[in-house]
Amino acid sequence: MDQPPLESSGPQMRKKGAAANVHAPFQDLVDRHYRGLWSYISFLTGGAVETDDLSQEAFLLAFDRLAAGKEFTGDPGLWLRGTARNLVRAWWRRKRRVSSELAEAIDLLAEESDEPAEVLGDAEVQAALDRCLGKLGADDRRLIAQRYEEGLPFARIAEQRKDSAGGLRVRLFRLRQGLMACVQRQLSGKGTA
């Protein structure tokens, strides 16, 4: 299926197509695919807050397509994921200001990750993560909570802890590395409960 341009600056209303009744098919598309696409984009952006905007952009492009009288043939989920990848690539380049060399490398990541990523809500994964979080010391748990639960920026966490932001970044990197390894062990059945 044809994809919208890479650098889409947001959908514009196409009046010709407005006459068509796109309400029902669009609603159906949103009901069927929103959760899956949101999870996919969250995965491609590493859970960035822009996941919402990017998901909405993808669906607004789908809306434009329907309003222009172009129906989806085949799986609309494939079209949506392709569109999402384009939007995420553009996001890495424009919003995250990564160099074109790095952006190309990240493009490859997105291309190799064409899956719905429903794993986010997987109860087994979440249970494994809970067990691993339970093995952390109180202060490490607090650091994880400050970063992920309270969403505090490093500078703020450093200020609260009277520590250096750089030191905290390295510590959090190692914590995440340890947690990821722990979850993988748990899921492969090698972890201890």
**Positions in the binding site for other proteins (CB under 8 A):** 11, 13, 15, 18-23, 26-27, 30, 34-35, 38-39, 42-44, 46-48, 51-52, 55-56, 59-60, 63, 96-99, 101-102, 104-106, 108-109, 112-113, 117, 119-121, 125-126, 129-130, 133-134, 144-145, 148-149, 154, 166, 169-170, 172-173, 176-177, 179-180, 183
Distance of CA 37 to the CA centre of its chain: 9
Distance CA 135, CA 30 (A): 39
Tracing tokens 């990017």 back to the chain, one arrives at 54
Radius of gyration of the chain from its Cα atoms, rounded to whole angstroms: 20
Decide if 5 contacts 84 (C-beta within 8 A): no
- We find the least distance from the C-beta atom of residue 94 to other proteins, in angstroms, to be 14
Nearer Cβ to other proteins (52/75):
52
- We find the least distance from the C-beta atom of residue 75 to other proteins, in angstroms, to be 20
Decide if 132 contacts 183 (C-beta within 8 A): yes
Nearer Cβ to other proteins (78/102):
102
Distance CA 57, CA 77 (A): 15
- We find the least distance from the C-beta atom of residue 52 to other proteins, in angstroms, to be 4
Distance CA 166, CA 137 (A): 21
Q: Which one, of 89, 117, 103, 66, lies nearest residue 8 by Cα?
A: 89
- We find the least distance from the C-beta atom of residue 109 to other proteins, in angstroms, to be 6
- We find the least distance from the C-beta atom of residue 99 to other proteins, in angstroms, to be 5
Nearer Cβ to other proteins (130/139):
130
Nearer Cβ to other proteins (7/104):
104
DSSP 188: T
